[in-house]
Structure 1
């Protein structure tokens, strides 16, 4: 609480009814510009389309590029050969038919709601704890680095993903219990043989697309300034940079995107999604994905590559320039108290509220004050969230701090509130209670709060 004692007010000459040591309440105030999560590029539409707007300061030509990218993002790809040559080449194995199949309305995916439901934005990465010469994971000997649960008509799909849950109980200091769901992943109907005993499974849910260009525009020096891999300051938090392979330059650079910060830039993230999720080749990833012993050359393709560079650039621009919605209710006293509590239990040490962008190829996104609530670094989140699969310099317990902007609009846009890298948390409260490792101390502090205080933190997060 922000309190100023009456005695202090008396010293300042302020007229009060009683110059005693009692305290009076002074209303909390939002910071100037606090509602502008994406700086001046923020949007003010909070409807079911909230994640789908261009940054408002784009030039006319940039808006045209945005529109072309939007069309490509939402179009369904078809099997080759087809009369629609600009969008043929789907598969032969894939998870979705278009980008919006995982990022519906540019939003967030979720795990299947029932057995047999087709993918709604959950995919499974596969790896055998070995890397190639570039430091990239080597996948399962049959199914590669990503399990693809759909295929074109002329070939059997790889199989079906099954997600089952057991229950874990967390208990607050006041005795309130919360039932968390613990996911387990398995497969049925594997068409090409079983997975290797050495294969690790890493579930990943598609995240909302907003603000990617702003995150890309944060100077590398800023990210490095927050890294503390050896916990030199002794606060128990040791965020670190992931160094990943840049396909275009052939070098190792700072990773920024993906749940383990395993992609260096938006273009490579987009191209990797086209390859892994849709089976669409590009100049960055020219090879099709087929399980052993099949040969992808036996199936028709949509050209070499299937998405030409100009269209890949259009989708990349679209992804980079999606606007971040403004905050709501920033002046609400409960929300402001929730923000103070969020900081007081050290959540803001990783979910850093305010950052500055630097020079950037999209002028509208340069030199902005943004409020993404992330440090973009890898943190050990404990055994409970571990996938056991390293990714470049990220170990099996480490995940990138996800930006929190837009979290309060996911239900409006996507009709659910599933959170974390695999969607296991059904709401914000459950997501907090899953925090472990470097975030364990903050979780324990959250559990010590009263129900009213916990609710205020959740109210605050829902305004982001």
Structure 2
């Protein structure tokens, strides 16, 4: 090759390299995304994680594969883009009653409204006399850690009689276990019911419970765990395998916890101290720990979700007149705050916060707090503008 051709080849290669760098999307840093597995999985566990990932995010159900007859969504991932929070377009409607004696509308399609139907069928409507509430899908990350918080630790955070006189009196939500659920080791039941921890009112006991309910209530998919068709109420053959459901459960259990950003930023550090000074940690506990797990990477881990997994009375402004389990109508489980700063990534670039997405900013969400959180809200309102900015930056770092 002569000198001119050699120079031309080198220049062409450089151009191609630069061009490829410009058109190839950069892989986002781990602290900028919510999905991805926890560290420490074995090769076999990583394979299972990927199988659950495909089932959760890629499988779209059709009439031919069991969708409906009435449903809310056609896939798991459609409500949890990037494993993040949902929007007003994916918000679910739950209906029932105002007391805690059990849902009286299960024979009429409760507890969830299936607002869509395949051709030839009619979507559900809310029955006369039923109260209802709208629930925005939560993010999925770190759920395996939450599942493994012991009942003993949850009860240690509860203070039903407010013995410490701080105005906060969180309580667990106790519920019956469906037939396909075995109580977790070291569970502490009360009157034959068990502490639930997943959902806006902590109405689901475990990730298997949550997953089976989602396939049935959200997509209209029957399984060996929940064989009743949501439209007819009759038992039908399973439309999804136990293996797929268990792979999805494993996927949810082993999604990594959100990674805080800018922890050493002085404004973030000031905001964290303000968070503590306002009393927000009364409900949003920073640090919890897991118990023993068959998944070694989850066993005996300390993590930072900013929740106590308890129900708290949030006041009349957040009383939707609807209840689940032993939760009262104004009681809501403390939502974990980790991942809060990344919520707009799955919410169209803006926030939809609180249980139904009514708050469009973190500031609005804080100001909607009432009941047990009313004192902290009032302290927030009295902060100087700079102090409020510090707090918001801290919350967005989570």
Fold shared per TM-score above 0.5: yes
Mapped contact 2:86–2:346 kept (Cα < 8 A): no
- Aligned partner of 1:110 in structure 2 is 87
Aligned residue-pair number: 359
- Aligned partner of 1:76 in structure 2 is 60
CA deviation digits over 1:295-321, x for unaligned, max 9? 466xxx9x6211221111111001111
The alpha-carbon deviation at position 128 of structure 1 amounts to 3.2
The alpha-carbon deviation at position 325 of structure 1 amounts to 2.7
Structure 1: tracts of 5 or more residues without a match = 1-42, 81-87, 112-119, 159-189
CA distance in 2, matches of 1:360, 1:140: 34
The alpha-carbon deviation at position 144 of structure 1 amounts to 2.8
Residue 213 (structure 2) aligned to one of 268, 272, 275: 272
The alpha-carbon deviation at position 367 of structure 1 amounts to 1.2
Using the TM superposition, name which of 321-330 and 394-403 deviates more: 321-330
Mapped contact 1:259–1:400 kept (Cα < 8 A): yes
Partner SS state of residue 332, structure 2: strand
Structure 1 segment 201-240 matched on structure 2, within 5 A? 201-240=132-171
- Aligned partner of 2:304 in structure 1 is 371
- Aligned partner of 1:288 in structure 2 is 229
CA deviation digits over 1:222-253, x for unaligned, max 9? 11100001111111100001111211258521
- Aligned partner of 1:157 in structure 2 is 123
CA distance in 2, matches of 1:90, 1:51: 28
The alpha-carbon deviation at position 218 of structure 1 amounts to 1.2
Residue 44 (structure 2) aligned to one of 61, 69, 78: 61
Residue 414 (structure 1) aligned to one of 314, 325, 347: 347
CA distance in 2, matches of 1:146, 1:216: 23
Structure 2: tracts of 5 or more residues without a match = 1-27, 183-191
Residue 374 (structure 2) aligned to one of 435, 440, 451: 440
- Aligned partner of 1:16 in structure 2 is none
Residue 391 (structure 1) aligned to one of 324, 333, 336: 324
Structure-2 change in CA distance of 1:129 and 1:447 (3 Å): closer
- Aligned partner of 1:45 in structure 2 is 30
TM-score by length of 2: 0.86
Is 1:321 aligned to 2:265, yes or no? no
Mapped contact 1:267–1:316 kept (Cα < 8 A): yes
CA distance in 2, matches of 1:146, 1:202: 10
Is 1:243 aligned to 2:174, yes or no? yes
Is 1:360 aligned to 2:326, yes or no? no
- Name the structure with the higher helix share: 2
Mapped contact 1:130–1:138 kept (Cα < 8 A): no
The alpha-carbon deviation at position 281 of structure 1 amounts to 1.2
Mapped contact 1:125–1:203 kept (Cα < 8 A): yes
CA distance in 1, matches of 2:53, 2:106: 34
Mapped contact 1:140–1:199 kept (Cα < 8 A): no
The alpha-carbon deviation at position 363 of structure 1 amounts to 1.1
- Name the structure with the higher strand share: 1
The alpha-carbon deviation at position 110 of structure 1 amounts to 1.4
Structure 1 segment 115-154 matched on structure 2, within 5 A? 120-129=89-98, 136-139=102-105, 142-154=108-120
CA distance in 2, matches of 1:314, 1:129: 36
CA distance in 1, matches of 2:259, 2:380: 26
Mapped contact 2:38–2:256 kept (Cα < 8 A): yes
CA distance in 1, matches of 2:314, 2:389: 23
- Aligned partner of 2:187 in structure 1 is none
Mapped contact 2:171–2:310 kept (Cα < 8 A): yes
